[in-house]
Chain A
Amino acid sequence: MKTPDLLELAARNLRESILRNSLTTLGIGVGVASLVAMLSLGVGLQQLATKRLERTGLFDTVMVSRRDFGGFGARGRTAATSDNIRALDETARQEIAKLPGVLEAVPDLRMMTQMRFNDKPHSTLVAALPMSARDREAFENIQGKFFSSGTAAEAIVQRHFAEELLGLAPGADEAANTSGPSPELQPLLGKELVMYYAERVPATNPANGKPGGQSSSPRLPENSKPTAGPAQAGGMNAGADALLTSFSVVPHTRALRIVGIIADDPDTLRGMGRARAFVPLDFAQGLQIMMPSDLRDGEGLGGRTYTQLSVRVQNSRDVPRVEDAIHRMGLGAFSLLDASRNLQRFFTVLDLFLGIFGSLALAVASLGIINTLVMAILERRREIGILKALGASDSDVKMLFFAEAGAMGIVGGLLGVGLGWMIGKVINTATNIYLHRQNLPSETFWSVPWWLVLGALGFSLVVSLLSGLYPAARAARLDPVKALRYE
């Protein structure tokens, strides 16, 4: 029998017992809906977690340091010898920045400073941030705004530091436990914060302080060099001459305008500790702040070296490749990709369990299909006999029952996908109403990707066809003589 005829006959047979078949199809629909709802929540939670993690910048980032000193990665440490250690300098940074898949390679500048606000000193760790940090999760609910430019003398402060600056008790502001803006901290925005820091100045280039509130430090061009400096990318093998290079450490102040307040440190898991104030990276680099690496590397101003670089890649999949390339360059590299993989593994297992629980309802529905089709065989026993007498083969009869099972599966699958979508939407909406009442921002916990829709439909069809196996085989085996005698 041709497929269109087969389908037409199957549809006709299904219409004959419309109530029973509709209820069976509804059962499949509920089963598929349960599966879709469960998996859509699992997928939604995975996407939410992945998005959140991606926005932290932790999983698309490779941290780079020298191999010998605070270097990352077992491979780097074990392979480090005095001969192959490479300096983490500007040349290395540029080389890393040119690697395929790398978006940016920025120095991780963190320094302990004293901040003065209303003439009161406050010690804190200050971190420099690139402008690309604007997209990170920590700045999602910033009170105020992000830096106006990379060179702006502006600061963003962490909420607890802001409380300290204003003399408020920790957590005193109303929004301390939420991500919303705090009215108590609002007066801080636009105020001036004075940063005290140590500037390194080449000994051959005498300091010449600048008057006014901008800065009292000597301004050196980025590429300035000491007259008798060592080779730019010399590293540890620069020789004894390099050690002769000297620089002065000059205390300076710089006025910063507070432009934003954030709840969290955007680099919580990076650096030696939590920074409580943040300045633009280009601005910080222009200050020639004395860094620990200046002493450690012994190169003075002969070439800028960094304690650590933060390398952002286009996709977390690129991380291992970039990490390997950096290792090959003689530098240490470390990423949190393993943690990301564990997270993926966790969600895969979670989705699997959710899928299994969701499939239980579909398994029950499949029993409904078997029951319905077996009933149909009993009811249509004579009709099957007629079909066989007219020339229907066993496979024609089998395919007819398969088509009926498949039709119930597809219709039930479509119904289930729609129902599951609605259930997920309702759960998402209800959860967001609850979050809203708790003064928490809305989130999307639920996602129905196209593969889930197609997968659910396919699964529904396969389960239905498998359920139709026994009834179809039983119908095909019917003896036409006995079937025609059946009353």
Chain B
Amino acid sequence: MTVPAPTESGTILTRDICRHHTMGTSVIHAVDGISFSVQGGEFIALLGSSGSGKSSLLNLIAGLDRPTSGDVQVEGRSLAELSSEELARFRRHSVGIVFQAFNLVPSMTVAENVELPLRLAETERSERAGRVREALARVGLSERLGHRPGELSGGEQQRVALARALVNSPRILLADEPTGNLDSHTGMDIMELIGDCNARLGMTVLLVTHERALAERYARRMLFLADGKLVAGQAYPPVGAGRAGQ
């Protein structure tokens, strides 16, 4: 099979990627030889049961972890070749991550949490407030700037996390079970927002979920994982897939 070479922004390509963990004498194959590609602006869902390697794969694509073997290319750059500092810069500017557990800093207000990526990206202070307000307005939390995460509902916390992921205008949004800790109604709201990012902003979205219904509703392509392997789904985009809205 010919592997299409992604050239656009927001593209992802994995080649025979593996991530093995050694625990005592046994080796766990969290990700075991997965190859797939995503075109810029695509909405992909990674499905599988718990322990199938979805989150491990997402971490490799996010540059939070390094593969044992194989290669991950994001926007044409091989992450394996990037230094630790370059990987940090990649996470800062190229990807936004939403976690199942929200991962907000509890001691910071909503605005401060959303401002955090801007601080790391050394955005001018004068510019930050506007961008924070804009990101929070996008997720419908303009009125909760001064609240702390503990004062918000789960859905609101996930919206803050989404605003934080969007504030640096990344080209790729990685969502790891974003509705896992939410009720179905709130989960749908969050998925609407994520879908909106894909549709309106043209962001590549890689959604990790075990809810097939959600995936079928929002993703254009689904990849199924089991025991660290890609077991079903279309690994490569069909001709004509790409930018949202196209």
Hey, which bits of chain A sit against chain B, CB under 8 A? 1-2, 4-5, 9, 12, 16, 382-383, 385-396, 479-481, 484
Query: Can you give 22 A-B contacts (C-beta < 8 A)?
Result: A2-B119, A5-B119, A5-B122, A382-B103, A386-B103, A386-B116, A387-B116, A388-B91, A389-B62, A389-B99, A390-B91, A391-B88, A391-B92, A391-B117, A391-B120, A391-B121, A392-B120, A393-B84, A393-B88, A394-B84, A481-B65, A484-B99
6 closest residue pairs by CB, A with B? A391-B92, A393-B88, A391-B91, A5-B119, A391-B120, A390-B117
B64 sits at the interface (CB 8 A):
yes
Nearest Cβ on chain B to A248's Cβ, whole angstroms: 97
B164: interface (CB < 8 Å): yes
Question: Chain B, 75-99, contact with A by CB distance < 8 Å: what is the 0/1 string?
Answer: 0000000001100110111000101
Could you tell me if B122 and A390 are in contact, using CB atoms closer than 8 angstroms? no
Is B188 part of the binding interface, using a Cβ–Cβ cutoff of 8 Å?
A: no
- Assembled-state Cα–Cα distance A4/B185 (Å): 41
Whole-angstrom distance between the Cβ of A182 and the nearest chain B Cβ: 73
Measured CB to CB, the closest approach of chain A to B56, in angstroms, equals 8
Cα of A62 to Cα of B40 in the assembled complex, Å: 90
Q: Which residue of A lies closest to B91 (CB)?
A: A391
Query: Which residues of chain A are near B88, meaning CB under 8 Å?
Result: 388, 391-394, 396
Say how far A153's CB is from chain B's closest CB, in angstroms.
Answer: 82
A382 partner residues in chain B, CB cutoff 8 A: 103
State whether the Cβ of B3 lies closer than 8 Å to any Cβ in chain A.
no
Q: A383: which B residues are within 8 A, CB to CB?
A: 105
In the docked arrangement, what's the CA distance between A390 and B167, Å?
11
Closest chain A residue, CB of each to CB of B121: A391
Known: A385-B103, A390-B116, A394-B88. 10 other contacts (CB 8 A): A5-B119, A16-B107, A389-B97, A389-B99, A390-B120, A391-B117, A393-B85, A393-B88, A481-B59, A484-B101
A484 to B65, CA, bound (A): 12
Q: Which residue of B lies closest to A395 (CB)?
A: B85
Within 8 Å CB of B121, what residues of A? 391
In the complex, what distance in Å separates the CA atom of A471 from the CA atom of B121? 24
Question: Quick one: which of B105, B107, B121 has the most chain A CB within 10 A?
Answer: B105
**Please, which residues of chain B bring their CB within 8 A of the CB of A385?**
103
Answer whether A1 and B122 are a contact pair too, CB < 8 Å, given A391-B93, A393-B85. yes
Residues of B within 8 A of A386 (CB): 103-105, 116
